[in-house]
Structure 1
C-alpha cells in the first residue's frame, strides 16, 4: 500500500503537530497504516497498544483521549528504544507506559482488563521472509499469529471492550473467524482504497467483546486523482499532520 510519508522523511523521523517520532532503531518506520489506525481506533480510560514500534499509535491515542492511560508493549529492542525516547520527549509521557515484553507474556502478568486494544499486526502469512530478521519479525505473522492476537486480546479486554486493527483486505477472512472463535464480534469495518481507481488494499476493523448492537461497513479513499488527501482522510488526520 503506498504511503504518503516520503522515504526521506521516514529516515529522518517524522514530526506531527504535538510530538516527534525518531525511528533510527526500529525496523518498521512511520507509515500510513499506523496513522490511519491511531486516528480512527476506539479508545477508553485504559488502552493497550500491542507491538507499539516507534510508539506512534500510543502517542496518537494519548492525544485523542486526554484522560486515558496507555500501556504500550514491544518485543524488539530497537523499536523499544525508539518508543521510549519518543514518549519521554512527548507531552503525554506521564500517561504512557512502555513495556518490553511479548503479548503472550504480558497477558499472564496484566492486572486489570482494558477498555480498548489497538494493534497494527504483522501481516505477511505465506510469503518470502525478508533477510533482515528484525524487519521480517515486524512484518510476518510467525511472531504473532492472528489466532494468538484474537485469543490474548479477548483475554485482556473487559466485556464490551474493543479491539481495533488495520490489516490487508485479503486477510480479513482469516482474522474474522479467529476473532469470533474467541468471543470477539465485528462491530465496524472500513474498506480503504489509496485511490478511487485502485482496489481495496486495507481494512480498518473494530471488534467488541460480546455481541454488538450493530455492525457498520463503509468504504473510504485516501487520495484524489491529483494526489491530494480526500476530505475523509484530511478530517481524520487533521489534528496530527502539520500540513
Structure 2
C-alpha cells in the first residue's frame, strides 16, 4: 500500500494534480502557459507535448470544449502519474496520454491538432552531474526533445489553421523563433514575463501559426510587486486555477 503522506497533490479550483513521481513538479511556468494560451472558438483537438503531470492538458480541458485532448510523455513515472491525473479529473473522457517519445509519436500519428502546447526542455547541454543531480534539471535537458524535434513534429501535426504555444527562457526566444521560421511557423503573440518590476525578463510565452503576421502582439507581465504581493494582471490571468487567487 502506498504511503499517502508521500503522495504530493497540488489542488486547483477544478482539479487536482499528483506530482510525486514526475521530475517536473507543478510550477509557475506551466500554469502561466495554460492560462495564457489563446483558445479559439472552433477548437476541436489539442496536443500537450512532454506532458509531465498533465497539467497543461488539464488546463486546456477546463478552458475549452475540445473533444480530443491528447498528451505524449516519454518518462514512465511521469506517464503513469499523468494517466492517474487524467482519470481522476472531471474531463477523463476527453483526455488521453500516450507513452512515447515525441519523435515516435509524430512519425506514427496521422491526425492533426488545432492546438499544440508545450513546456519543453530548456538545457541544450546536459547538466553537470557533479554540480547537480536534481531530476527537475535533468528533465530540462534537450537530449530527448530538442527544439528541432519539437518544431519538426509541430510542423507535421498542426492543422492548417492551428496554433502552437510554448514557454521558454527569454534567452532562447530569438533562436527559437528563427528555427520556427524554417518550419513555416510564425509568431503572432508574445508575452514576456518578469518576476518583479525591477527584475529582468525571465520567461517568454509565444504563440505560433502557419500564417505570417505583419505585426506581432507583444505584451509584458509582472508577477509580483514584491514578495507574495501579486500584481492584478497576474491574478486576473491565473484566477481560474489557483485556489487563493
User: Does the alignment reach a TM-score above 0.5?
Assistant: yes
SS of alignment partner, residue 123 of structure 2: coil
Residue of structure 1 equivalent to 2:173: 172
Number of residue equivalences: 234
Residue of structure 1 equivalent to 2:63: 64
C-alpha distance in 1 between matches for 2:213 and 2:69:
24
Alpha-carbon spacing, 1:127–1:200, altered in 2? closer, same or farther (3 Å): farther
SS of alignment partner, residue 18 of structure 1: coil
- Cα offset, 1:86, TM superposition: 0.7
Output one character per residue of 1:133-190: Cα deviation in whole Å (capped at 9) or x when no partner.
Answer: 8545421112111111111101110112111000000011221111000010011111
- Cα offset, 1:11, TM superposition: 7.2
Residue of structure 2 equivalent to 1:48: 47
C-alpha distance in 2 between matches for 1:176 and 1:110:
25
- Cα offset, 1:45, TM superposition: 1.2
Equivalences for residues 76-115 of structure 1 within 5 A = 76-115=75-114
Equivalences for residues 91-170 of structure 1 within 5 A = 91-126=90-125, 128-130=127-129, 132=133, 134-170=135-171
Q: Return structure 1 stretches of 4+ with deviation > 6 angstroms.
A: none
- Greater shift, 197-206 or 144-153, is seen at 144-153
C-alpha distance in 1 between matches for 2:75 and 2:126:
21
Residue of structure 2 equivalent to 1:205: 206
C-alpha distance in 1 between matches for 2:157 and 2:215:
23
SS of alignment partner, residue 201 of structure 1: strand
Alpha-carbon spacing, 1:169–1:227, altered in 2? closer, same or farther (3 Å): same
Residue of structure 2 equivalent to 1:7: none
Alpha-carbon spacing, 1:99–1:196, altered in 2? closer, same or farther (3 Å): same
Aligned residues of 2:194 and 2:202 also touching (Cα < 8 A): yes
The unaligned stretches of length 5 or more in structure 2 are 1-5
Aligned residues of 2:126 and 2:138 also touching (Cα < 8 A): no
Alpha-carbon spacing, 1:195–1:136, altered in 2? closer, same or farther (3 Å): closer
The unaligned stretches of length 5 or more in structure 1 are 1-9
Aligned residues of 1:22 and 1:82 also touching (Cα < 8 A): yes
